[in-house]
Amino acid sequence: MKTFDYLFEPVNAGLFWPGVAAALIVALLCAPLSLYVVLKKMAFIGQGVSHAAFGGVGLALYVAALAGTGGWSGWHQLAVLVFAAAAGLGISVLSKRQGTDTAIGIVLAVCMAVGFELYRLAAGVAARTPGVAGPPGIEDVLFGSVLNVTTGGAVATGVAAMLVLGSLWFVRRPLTSWAFDEATAGSLGIRGERMRALLLLMLSVAVVATMQIAGVVLATAMLIIPGVIGLSWGRTIRGAVVWSVVSAVLGVVVGLLVTFELGVQPGPSVVLVMVGLMLIGSGIRRATGARSA
């Protein structure tokens, strides 16, 4: 099996294991958040944040090229995180005046356009400057790549996941009350605007972490599909979390196996596997429901 050669041959192990570790961390990070994204019907907002992050990618790459460093490093991720968080908060502010869909459309279009132009400018600067590494391939940015994840990147992903999951655990009760019944939560003194802003910040961090594996385009799927599966199978919020985590981890493991064996992009593989799990689960529920009826 090619997977065994990639992961356990001494020559290849150091190249592939950081990406595998980061992918598993991303699954653990996105699965709980996806429940709130689905409950609050924020899928389009998650898509807006993930696509807006591409603007941060272009900006970080362009600044690095001008500085004569090029390539991709930990501080690039920090810059993208700040950009994505600002975009998320911008969507939240604009949605009060323009409506949520309009605000997302404006921010998404502007950030994608800016990001692409800055990406091309960064590539041009790198091509004209000797010794400056060019930016990652556009396919790797949009759809992710296991090979681009370094040990430092995997560690940064782990730190981001601990911060987000720690914050999520700390506010789990008010956030869950707000997600299930915003009106009742408001009567209990839980401020919906504050919960929404906090969730957007956590989603921004998750998007930046997920971009390494699933890329900009497919990061949204990691924040939606596990939540759909968890809410379909879990009878309690705890059960929903368990099912979402199981589906996300299983999707990553099987998706990476497909990637290693067939030599395809990891992001689309992981997403397609999770979609398959969602369809299989839906089929099983319908079959068991028909039998019980």
Do residues 72 and 135 touch, judged by C-beta distance below 8 A? yes
pLDDT digits (tens, 9 = 90+) for 111-156: 888 888 888 888 888 878 777 777 777 776 766 676 677 777 788 7
pLDDT digits (tens, 9 = 90+) for 52-76: 777 888 888 888 887 776 655 556 6
243: left (phi over 0), alpha (psi -120 to 50) or beta: alpha
For range 254-260, the mean pLDDT: 88
Indicate the residue type of 148. N
Q: Which residue has the higher pLDDT, 78 or 26?
A: 26
Q: Is the per-residue pLDDT at 284 higher than 90?
A: no
Q: Is the per-residue pLDDT at 291 higher than 70?
A: no
Contacts of 96 (CB under 8 A, 6+ apart): none
Please tell me the distance from the alpha carbon of residue 210 to that of residue 51, in angstroms, as a whole number.
Answer: 12
Token look-up 């699933």 returns 214
pLDDT digits (tens, 9 = 90+) for 180-190: 888 888 887 88
Q: Is the per-residue pLDDT at 256 higher than 80?
A: yes
pLDDT digits (tens, 9 = 90+) for 152-208: 778 878 888 898 899 999 988 898 888 888 888 888 788 877 888 788 888 878 877
Please tell me the distance from the alpha carbon of residue 144 to that of residue 210, in angstroms, as a whole number.
Answer: 8
Q: Reduced to 3 states, what is the DSSP secondary structure of residue 131? A: coil
CATH number of 2-292: 1.10.3470.10
Partners of residue 133 on adjacent β-strands? 70
Domain segments of the chain: what residues?
2-292
Q: Reduced to 3 states, what is the DSSP secondary structure of residue 70? A: strand
The predicted structure's pLDDT at residue 46:
67
Token look-up 């997920």 returns 210
The predicted structure's pLDDT at residue 6:
67
The proportion of the chain whose per-residue pLDDT surpasses 70, expressed as a percent, equals: 85
Q: Is the per-residue pLDDT at 244 higher than 90?
A: yes
The overall average pLDDT reported for the chain is: 80
| 193: exposed, middle or buried (Cβ count in 10 Å: 0-12, 13-18, 19+) | exposed
